[in-house]
Chains A and B, each alone.
Chain A
Amino acid sequence: MLEGLEASFRRTCPAVEHASLRWHRESRNVAHVRNDVLEPWMRGDEAGVLVTVRDGGGAGYAATSDLSDAGLAEAFRRAQGWAARTRGRSIQAEVPLPTPVEGSYEGPAEQPFTRVAPAELIDRLRQSCAEMTVDPSIVDRHASLEHVDVETLLLDSAGMRVHQRYEVTIPFAVAVAHVAGDSQVRTLGGRGHARQGGLEVLERILPPGRARRVADEARELLAAPMCPEQTCDVVLAPDQMILQIHESIGHPLELDRILGDERNYAGTSFVTLDMFGTYRYGSELLDVTFDPDVHGQVASYAFDDDGTPAKRQWLIRKGILERGLGGAASQARSGVPGVANARACAWNRPPIDRMANLNLEPGTSSFDELVGAVEDGVYMETNCSWSIDDARNKFQFGCEMGRRIRDGKLAELVRKPNYRGISATFWRNLAGVGDASTREVLGTPNCGKGEPNQMVRVGHASPACHFRDIAVFGGA
């Protein structure tokens, strides 16, 4: 199929300064058991191409699922129309053309999804769902698995050819416990545990027996006291750290936000271009990398969707801001060093600056040492609420589960733990970074941004971390 598409591209590519074609296919299967009943099995095969044209000082794109010669020719005609329409006022037409490269990427899949019979997978999910029947207070139980087979091909008129393929697997278990006017939801997987790989991801995240703990914790939270309102130390688990990194490091460092492209929708940034190279973003313990080469992390790749080769880069080292999250176009516009992160969510959207794998590097403290450094504080797990201003500065986040820390030891559960702060000062209160034994490689399938809107998968790996003097509070 790809050979035929390449031949069609060569036949239909117009004689312009530069043209490209990006084919993007996502084949999806979703199996979802709710309260022991399988919901209708969902398949999907979403595929098409986005062609681009740069010519005469203008630039445009056109997306279509018609891959015939006539379909591609029509798409190129439309893209040329946009290039003419934007002549003299196109930002895209003024950034450097990509350097032609050839390459490929193949993601890991120890147990390819296609090797498992649907009936076997359904039984497996039913088992997890049934495990959550621990108590009459559990009123809703879900066990699901989403698997996506992603394949892209990028060609351009200068000879570029980049082929990439990987599988993504997202297990999810949810238990809802309810009694006397209050409900507590506990989850595992889903929002925070997207990984590249096949069914081995299901076995790692949601092995037999693991779902029961999800339900037990939801039930136990019903009886827990409310999280106290106080300013104190917090220790954040990796599945909350990824949200903290995402919202208050990832988005603020996106160069297109700093350049103002997102001012009408996703917002701006408290970071300005003059801060790169000198700004103290956090304490000396803060080390953050863009790392597209972590085995199994959900946004690992060899090239971004502009065809820029991807490699590990330091964004923040010893607390100092070094580099932004911007692809070749944003780097040219801003004059700030960036990374290979021009990404599109699907065949019908053009690439923009996105997070990919954005990781907080491990420190030297064991989990016990992190907790041991806290006299009176709160430990929080699993994000459930996120809100931050459009400059990515004033934030308020909530977690599913909290636990008091007293005299350096984990103590009783607390429910509805929330905390708020300001990005520009929060990271300077980073007082302890967990070592590799506390690190988890996680990722979310739902990062939204862009006009038209795009939802992409992003990876975050983080150890547990300790912060001082944080405003903590509970529910109403």
Chain B
Amino acid sequence: MSDRTDSARTWWEGLARAAFSGLQAGERLDVYYAGESSDFARFNAGRVRQGGTVEQNRVSLSLSCGARQASSAIDLAGQLDADTLRVRQEVAALRALVPALPEDPWLLLADGEPDTVREVTGRPDDPGDVLDLVVGSAPAGADVVGIYAAGTVRRAFASSTGQRNWHEVASSHLDWSAHRQDARDRAVKKDLAGPSFDASAFERKAGEVARELEVLARPAHKVAPGRYRAWLGPAALHEWMQMLAWGGFGLKAQRTKQSPLLRMLEGDARFGTDVHLEEHVEGALAPAFQGDGFARPARVPLVTAGAPAGALVSPRSSREFGVPHTGASDAERPEALTMAGGSLAPDDVLGSLGTGLYVGNLWYLNFSDRMACRATGMTRFATFWVEGGEIVAPVDTMRFDETAYHMLGDNLVAIGSDVETLADGSTYGARSTDVWRLPGVLVEDYALTL
């Protein structure tokens, strides 16, 4: 939002009023807003590769006439007069299109949903100060590489029926890694997220980076393909859960037999009884309403005691399959997935692992057999060989090919008691508001293949 306007919320409310004032009899207009004021700086080896600011105001207009609907996403200037004109032009285009469309039997529009306001403010970062601290933080013999993304993220919904929702959160996200200059693939990855940049937290993490880089200086332990006892840290489990979230928890994928959890849904497989998963939006960075204005319940159980307990249901799937919706987006994908912690204390992880792999991160997972919930992927960043409960050496990049039913079922030894908050650093099109909360897991016979 430009400094030249009073505030983003004032602009939004004025825009909604103007958009609805020109509607014709029998029309309904729903408007979803995704805006952000973002500073981005990417850096490499003590220098700034690219730095800049993005001011973005994307509005999705959905015009309905009875059971016919068409939508349009447009970018606006953040200036009320010009934007009002632009919105009216686009509504007119939708008005011309809608009569050509057939009635939609699965269309469900928000009705009686609550008005909400959530604003989380933070002290604005000074990007120059952050860069001063971060870009020059590399220990001797290492490069720091990554991205700093900060500023305000806004989401809002307004309907000509009168519903209003506003969500504005300040966030600062530093996603970086430190790479030894003397050895390729020897790197440590960290991230730091919050309403504002926390310099003291960064200093603590920079200290961890320096210590871990020292271990990475040791000669690599050669690991042959085979099965290994392994600790998958929260960031590694996050990558795995991204795969399960790809159709795993959505009702449409489940009912159309495309869910990777199909075997579990049909009673042929299950996770361990200590595995509990839920969508938990309460207090999360994600808004408590979705793009069509439906409220999202605070918690949606997905897996309880290792067995299916529910699904993410969009309003559209609700109509199609006759199941109450859970305020999910059309993608029916978790935005605030939470897994319950277990009993393995952080200080006991290495001892319980004994001998095996300590995996900090995984990378580039994809299904090798979707129906078996079997995925392949790579280790990346700090992965260590552990003997006698002590980290002894780094391990070079290895490929795994494993099923979630082994990892979280038959071969699950323990779940970490520490549940880590993992802010999604994704910035495709816009900055993500997803925040997941996950522990690590200790597993037996984890399959490495290449």
Contacts and interface: CB of A to CB of B under 8 A. Distances in A.
Contacts of A265: 147, 175
Nearest to A398: B368
Contact of B378 (A28, A45, A46, A390): A390
Place the interface of chain A in its size category.
35 or more
A41 B369 contact: no
Interface string B98-110: 0011101111000
Given A63-B56, A390-B380, A41 B77 contact: no
A103 interface: no
Contacts of B128: 85
Contacts of A420: 376, 399, 449-450
Contact of B78 (A66, A394, A448, A474): A66
Interface in B231-269: 256-258, 262-263, 266, 268
B266 A390 contact: no
B426 A453 contact: yes
Interface stretch (A161-169, A181-189, A291-299, A309-317): A181-189
A48 interface: yes
B51 to A, nearest CB: 5
Interface string B1-34: 0111000000000000000000000000000000
Interface stretch (A88-96, A358-366, A437-445): A88-96
A181 B70 contact: no
Nearest to B364: A387
Interface string A154-182: 00000000000000000000001010011
Nearest to A266: B364
Contact of A390 (B135, B257, B397): B397
A139 B258 CA distance: 10
B176 to A, nearest CB: 6
A387 B378 contact: yes
B323 interface: no
Contacts of A476: 369, 372, 374, 403
B248 to A, nearest CB: 13
Interface string B138-152: 000001011101000
B79 A386 contact: no
A74 interface: yes
Interface in A441-470: 448, 451-455
A389 interface: yes
Contacts of B90: 43, 45
Place the interface of chain B in its size category.
35 or more
Interface in A18-50: 28, 37-48, 50
B10 to A, nearest CB: 16
Given A176-B258, A183-B258, A396-B368, A46 B51 contact: no
Contacts of B3: 74
Given A46-B75, A390-B397, A476-B372, A90 B380 contact: no
B52 A82 contact: yes
Contacts of B69: 40-41
A317 B49 CA distance: 32
B86 to A, nearest CB: 9
B126 to A, nearest CB: 9
Contact of B74 (A46, A62, A347, A416): A46
A331 interface: no
24 contacts: A28-B73, A41-B69, A42-B73, A43-B97, A50-B52, A60-B53, A62-B52, A62-B54, A63-B55, A85-B127, A86-B41, A91-B47, A119-B100, A183-B370, A185-B258, A264-B146, A349-B54, A389-B364, A390-B378, A448-B428, A451-B40, A452-B54, A452-B431, A475-B372
Minimum-distance CB pairs A-B, first 3: A61-B52, A475-B369, A476-B372
Interface of B: 2-4, 38, 40-42, 44-58, 62, 69-79, 82, 90, 93-94, 97, 100-102, 104-107, 127-128, 131, 135, 143, 145-147, 149, 175-177, 179, 184-185, 187, 189, 256-258, 262-263, 266, 268, 316, 363-372, 374, 376-378, 380, 397, 399, 401, 403, 426-429, 431, 449-450
Given A265-B175, A387-B399, A396-B366, 8 more contacts: A42-B73, A86-B41, A260-B143, A261-B44, A263-B44, A398-B368, A452-B147, A475-B369
